[in-house]
């Protein structure tokens, strides 16, 4: 799956297995170049992340409900109502997104 952000095509990995979801970008030292999608995840934390990330939370139709830019390590986003997908993107890649926009994915 791909999403176009700021004119760049970003590859998205959908994480459904426990181990994938648990590891995500923890201890990841190389620059982040792809995004992660967590279906059915209404909360998120950045514990043990080694770099900043942007978090976008959407409903089932990918309409953006919440945007958290440049989250440092050790931050927690408490459960939000209406959230179905939580996306993790490289730092500063969501600067042109607004709440209410729709993320357009392509295969």
Domain boundaries, the chain: 2-96
**pLDDT tens digit sequence for 27-83:** 888 989 999 999 999 999 999 999 999 999 999 999 999 999 999 999 999 999 999
Cβ 38 vs Cβ 15: under 8 Å: yes
Report CA-CA distances (Å) from 1 to 43, 48, 103: 22, 26, 12
**pLDDT tens digit sequence for 8-28:** 889 999 999 999 889 898 888
Q: Looking at per-residue confidence, does 99 or 25 come out higher? A: 99
- CATH fold for domain 2-96: Jelly Rolls (2.60.120)
pTM score: 0.91
Q: Mean pLDDT across the stretch 2-9? A: 84
Residues 6+ apart with CB under 8 A from 19: none
């Amino acid at each position: 799956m791909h999403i176009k952000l700021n004119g760049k095509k970003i590859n998205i990995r959908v994480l459904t297995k426990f181990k994938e979801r648990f590891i995500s970008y923890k201890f990841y030292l190389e620059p982040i170049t792809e995004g992660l999608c967590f279906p059915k995840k209404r909360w998120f934390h950045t514990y043990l992340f080694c770099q900043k990330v942007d978090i976008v939370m959407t409903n089932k139709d990918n309409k953006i409900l919440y945007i958290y830019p440049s989250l440092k390590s050790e931050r927690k986003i408490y459960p939000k109502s209406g959230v179905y997908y939580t996306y993790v993107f490289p730092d500063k890649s969501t600067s042109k997104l607004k709440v209410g926009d729709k993320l357009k994915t392509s295969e």
